[in-house]
Amino acid sequence: MKVTTVIGARPQFIKAAAVSKAILDTQGLEEVLIHTGQHFDQNMSDIFFSQLGIPEPKYNLDIHGGGHGQMTGRMLEALEEVFQKEQPDYVMVYGDTNSTIAGALAAKKLHIPLAHVEAGLRSFNMKMPEEINRILTDRISDLLFCPTQTAVDNLTKEGFENLPAKTLLTGDVMYDAALLFGNLAEQLAVDLPTSVGQDKFALLTLHRAENTDSEPRLREIMEAIDEIHNKVMKVVCPLHPRTRNKLKEYGIKPGFTVIDPVGYLEMVQLLKSCSLVLTDSGGLQKEAYFFEKPCVTLRDETEWVELIDHGYNALVGASKETILKTVASSINHSLDFGTQLYGDGQASQKIISAIQASS
């Protein structure tokens, strides 16, 4: 049985690492990995394959840049050609990127069964390109692998029980990856970047268009982060290329510690070593929880409502006042991370078993 997997962005590499390992450990399954090229920076792409032991992609489409429609269209055209050549039994896509929706559309137009890992997530903000991608991908998928009960409930509310698709609560493959690679960084003696130093620090990532493409919003976030860095604790930020370009365009100079994008194992070390996470990333909100760090999310909504409900995460938008107040509260409040929100670490195997059973 042949499964063709489409990935293109950093979080997808990590998720695929766990599932690809499960495929390698399963007799009778072959995986053909396609890298769309959506993330093309070496530190944000190639390094994941070498560090995490993901098989090298059979195809690298090298598609990046341009608007959403242009990028998605080019991917759709290229993926259709690959699928026709490979004739897979299943196409598997992850998350909510342009690579996700392109893979989903190409598969369904060729009548190839489609599996969506991380199905059922909703931010309920249709201005987010990711929301559009995840809704459309869910609607045309045959197997919907949900990381949480909330995700299952979202699909139920949308009437998916009346559609010819199967919804399964598998748990989160990101948790599988955290368990799988959590100790690897220490085993390989992966060091923190020298500029991080030994001081207590907050880890910052910032890349979403809703923050980077609005100059007033980005300026207010930057002012808050600068103040945290100068008055509360050091802030360290592996700076995303898009954010770097926008800061230059707006003439904003960060007053905190900026480092180049890092590989996953270096990010694990940063997560283990930090005292607080500040982010607009969906994946890093969960990774903060996996590594037992409080998280402050620089967005107006999140798909991971369980983290909010249990007090592990706080939404602050772009308000400087709210960011500063929430950071002060987070560092003075202890949390019990004993709650199991994202499954038992066996999501990858459940996904593979379901694909095999559906053939």
- Model confidence over 302-350: pLDDT tens digits? 989 999 999 999 999 999 999 999 999 999 888 999 888 999 999 999 9
- pLDDT of 46 over the 70 cut: no
- Average pLDDT rounded to a whole number, residues 182-191: 72
pLDDT of residue 194: 77
CA 287 – CA 98 distance, rounded (Å):
22
Strand blocks (E) in the chain: 2-7, 30-35, 59-60, 90-94, 114-117, 143-146, 166-169, 201-205, 234-238, 257-259, 276-279, 295-297, 313-315
pLDDT of 215 over the 80 cut: yes
Has residue 230 got a pLDDT over 90?
A: yes
| pLDDT tens, residue by residue, 118-127 | 999 999 999 9
Confidence bin at 47 (pLDDT 50/70/90):
low
Over residues 25-43, the mean pLDDT reads: 85
User: In the prediction, which pLDDT does 82 show?
Assistant: 98
pLDDT at 43: 53
For the segment(s) 2-172+343-358, the CATH number from 3.10.20.740, 3.40.50.620, 3.10.20.30, 3.40.50.2000 is 3.40.50.2000
- 2-172+343-358 against 185-331: fold identical: yes
Contacts of 26 (CB under 8 A, 6+ apart): 352, 356
Q: Can you tell me whether residue 195 is helix, strand or coil?
A: coil
CATH code reported for the domain at 185-331: 3.40.50.2000
The average confidence (pLDDT) of the chain is 92
Residue 42 in this model has a pLDDT that exceeds 60? no
Domain ranges of the chain: 2-172+343-358, 185-331
> Do residues 335 and 276 make contact, with C-beta atoms less than 8 angstroms apart?
no
pLDDT score of 91 more than 80 = yes
Give me the residue label for tokens 């960011």.
323
Catalytic residue at 333? no
Catalytic residue among 207, 229, 240, 310: 207
Beta bridge partners of 236: 203, 257
Is residue 165 over pLDDT 60? Answer: yes
Q: Quickly count: other Cβ atoms within 10 Å of residue 340's Cβ.
A: 10
- In angstroms, rounded to a whole number, what is the distance separating the alpha carbons of residues 340 and 345? 10
Residue type, 112: I
Per-residue model confidence as pLDDT tens digits over 255-314? 999 998 887 888 888 998 999 999 999 889 999 999 999 999 999 999 899 999 999 999
**What is the arithmetic mean of pLDDT over 144-150?**
96
pLDDT band at 9 (very low <50, low <70, confident <90, very high): confident
pLDDT at 174 over 70: yes
Mean pLDDT along residues 244-262: 94
